Amino acid sequence: MNVIVVLAGILCILMVVIGGKQGLRSFLSLFLNFGVLFVTIFLMTNPKNSPIVLTFIACTVISCISLFYINKTNSKTITAFISTMVTIVVLLLFITFITKKAMIQGFGEESTEEISIFSLYIGVNFVQIGASVIIMSTIGAIMDVAISIATSMHEIFYRNPSISRKTLFTSGISIGRDILGTDTNTLFFAFFGGYLSLLIWFKDLSYSIGEIVNSKVFSAEMMTIFCAGIGIALIIPIASSVNAYYLVKTREKK
């Protein structure tokens, strides 16, 4: 039997045993999100379609699947979804600008021989493609922080319904600070784990430290880490303010 099928089966069994129905929905959401990414990539091959618009739509659908399908529709997932979308809009504008200024789009000089027989005039905006790649790499971490803060703040509010909006917001920031360091390090080590072979390749090519840092391949990945860290840092005050406003507003209506 194919090893991938076996691993998928083990993962499914563990998620169902530990998570129950929610674990099964989490497992199925992996395939749904993969389908969304596949369709998005297919549509990006059409020069008439804007990669930025497609990325925003894909992030919206992925957020709906990851939040509403897995955790169902409730006040926590609604506030987490709003916080995620606000952060994504800010990041899209910021990353598009940074990608254009840093000129990390397209292929690096290491790929010159492989692509020399192909035409590069394919009508695709590589600046927007580069921005889309970075956004897609950060959406998971952003949603994770958003739902973590929303769940914690809802629990604080239900334990102390008379808490003020300012105190609730401060609690959200305090929770986010504990998440910030661990999630940023997770992204950092995920990069070095996934690109360890790239670093070994640089060593075999006798690249100096300066050549590695200025390599487009390396720079693009480091920018992805930094932009993901910026997204995690942004989502903390945004999610805290959205949840504090929503919870206090709900209490006032009651």
Q: Give tens-digit pLDDT for 105-138.
A: 555 555 555 555 555 666 666 777 777 877 887 8
* Residue 152 burial (C-beta neighbours within 10 Å; 0-12, 13-18, 19+): buried
Percent of the chain topping pLDDT 70: 86
Single-letter amino acid code for the residue at 232: I
φ, ψ (nearest 5 deg) of residue 229: -65, -40
Distance in angstroms (rounded) separating the CA atoms of residues 31 and 51: 22
CA distance 218 to 239: 31
Q: Could you write out the three-class secondary structure of the chain?
A: CCHHHHHHHHHHHHHHHHHHHHHHHHHHHHHHHHHHHHHHHHHHCCCCCCHHHHHHHHHHHHHHHHHHHHHCCCHHHHHHHHHHHHHHHHHHHHHHHHHHHHCCCCCCHHHHHHHCCCCCCCCCCHHHHHHHHHHHHHHHHHHHHHHHHHHHHHHHHHHCCCCCHHHHHHHHHHHHHHHHHHHHHHHHHHHHHHCHHHHHHHHHCCCCHHHHHHCHHHHHHHHHHHHHHHHHHHHHHHHHHHHHHHHHHHHHHC
* Close Cβ partners of 164 (under 8 Å, ≥ 6 residues apart): 248
At residue 254, the pLDDT reads 66
User: Which carries the bigger pLDDT value, residue 25 or residue 130?
Assistant: 25
Q: What is the pLDDT of residues 59-75, one digit of tens each?
A: 899 988 888 888 888 88
- Distance, CA of 34 to CA of 84 (rounded, Å): 19
- Res. 102: pLDDT tops 60: yes
Q: What average pLDDT score do residues 5-13 get?
A: 86
- Angle formed at CA 170 by CA 164 and CA 171, multiple of 5 degrees: 90
Q: What is the pLDDT of residues 164-220, one digit of tens each?
A: 888 888 888 988 888 887 777 777 777 666 667 777 777 777 777 777 776 777 777
- Nearest C-alpha neighbor of 52 from the set 152, 125, 108: 125
pLDDT tens sequence across 40-60: 888 887 878 888 888 889 889
Residue 25 has pLDDT above 70, yes or no: yes
Instruction: Tell whether the model's pLDDT for residue 93 goes beyond 70.
Output: yes
Question: Per-residue confidence at 81, pLDDT binned at 50, 70, 90?
Answer: very high
Are the beta carbons of 244 and 169 closer than 8 angstroms? yes
Burial class of residue 140 in the structure, from the number of CB atoms within 10 Å of its CB (0-12 exposed, 13-18 middle, 19+ buried) = middle
* Predicted TM-score (pTM) above 0.85: no
